[in-house]
Structure 1
Amino acid sequence: METCKTRTIVRAVLKKQEASPDLLANRTGSSHDYSRRQLMQTAPNIVHGDWKTYQHEAERVRAMVFIAEQKVPRELEFDEDDKTAEHFISFDARHMVTGCARLLDNGRIGRVAVLRPFRGRGIGEAVMKTVLERAKARGMKDVHLAAQVQAMPFYERLGFEPFGDEFDEAGIPHRMMRLVF
């Protein structure tokens, strides 16, 4: 029952509509407690589409994570692959952009990022699982990515295995990783 109620609330919030007070009320009768606590624990809403549709959202996340935080030059961060990639964008229950990723036609996953305030909440994992489901649906036999070395344990938990030697990309140590379906 709680799951169904939460989904209905999230749909209402994403549509920027008011949820009815009785829907928001939790067991103690406090709508404020329910909406703040439950909405923040709701799984992210993840959408996917082309660059034209999600350019603004992807650029915002990537500029904050890669350019501002990690000092990746803008000319390296945004490339021609963006125009042909399938982009994945995550939103929280308040419809705030929280993360992103992209999938190229050759099975390469890239530009996986979650905004700092939203890290540690399972958003990156949810985005990656959506990317992997989409890759399978598109008939890909495997996917690969250039993982920042510090992020390798995250990808290993998703089933990726490292291959090749460590290399530098934009001043950050990376290693190739692959997942065979």
Structure 2
Amino acid sequence: MTTLQTERLVLRPLEPADAPAYAQMRFHPDVSRWLPPASDEPVAAAEAAIARFAAGWRERRHAPWGLFRDGRLVGHAGLNYVPEFAETEVLWALHPDAWGQGYATEAARAALDYGFGTLGLDLIFAITLPDNLASQAVMRRLGLGYRRRVDYKGFKDIVWFDIDRDAWRSRSPRA
């Protein structure tokens, strides 16, 4: 499992002890409205997600990280393989207290660098609900382009953005 540090954030794999703080962030009403619903109570769902992320680290060398600012969990971001699409997505979700500070862009940029540079992925996508304009703005800032609409986990007409390795390298001063 890999830990990264950006200018303002520590991106580290979530641990079982992080479950209560992760549940508080992930299931905050302003956050959960954009994400698939949980099938369990929040802490149990957070524990299951953390276990799923740990499996992703073991199997693919990537999964979402917890985002920590000054030692406090402020969100998650990272890479997630989606079997339904046979591709890897970049994702993020932040507690509302952390919105509007550029953390999503900062963390997603680090995830894209890791995915294309370290893992050698060819393409990375991001999806969101059509009315989640804040996430779409992050996608555009990162250089992802709109490609199509998809259905996913009960959500209809999700917007799909993506970027390939060559396009990322041409944009990224670190590539």
Per the alignment, residue 119 of structure 2 pairs with: 138
**Cα distance per residue 1:4-58 (max 9 Å; x no partner):** xxxxxxxxxxxxxxxxxxxxxxxxxxxxxxxxxxxxxx94322233x65686254
User: Per-residue deviation at 1:103?
Assistant: 1.1
- The amino acid of 1:63's aligned partner reads F
Per the alignment, residue 89 of structure 1 pairs with: 66
CA gap of 1:53–1:109, structure 2 versus 1, over 3 A, is: farther
CA gap of 1:98–1:138, structure 2 versus 1, over 3 A, is: same
Q: Say whether residues 1:155 and 2:148 are aligned partners.
A: no
**Cα distance per residue 1:120-156 (max 9 Å; x no partner):** 1111111101111110211112201212332212211
Judging by fraction of residues, say which structure has more helix.
Answer: 1
Moved over 3 A (4+): 51-55, 57-60, 69-72, 76-83, 166-173
Query: Normalised by the size of structure 2, how large is the TM-score?
Result: 0.61
- The amino acid of 1:152's aligned partner reads Q
Per the alignment, residue 126 of structure 1 pairs with: 106
CA distance in 2, matches of 1:160, 1:89: 22
Whose radius of gyration is greater, 1 or 2? 1
Give the aligned CA root-mean-square deviation in angstroms.
Answer: 3.2
**Cα distance per residue 1:47-100 (max 9 Å; x no partner):** 233x65686254442222543x5584213986685432522222112x111121
Q: Percent identity?
A: 11
Structure 2: unaligned runs, 5 residues or longer = 1-5, 57-61, 82-86, 166-175
Match of 2:101, SS state, is coil
Per the alignment, residue 48 of structure 1 pairs with: 12
Query: Normalised by the size of structure 1, how large is the TM-score?
Result: 0.60
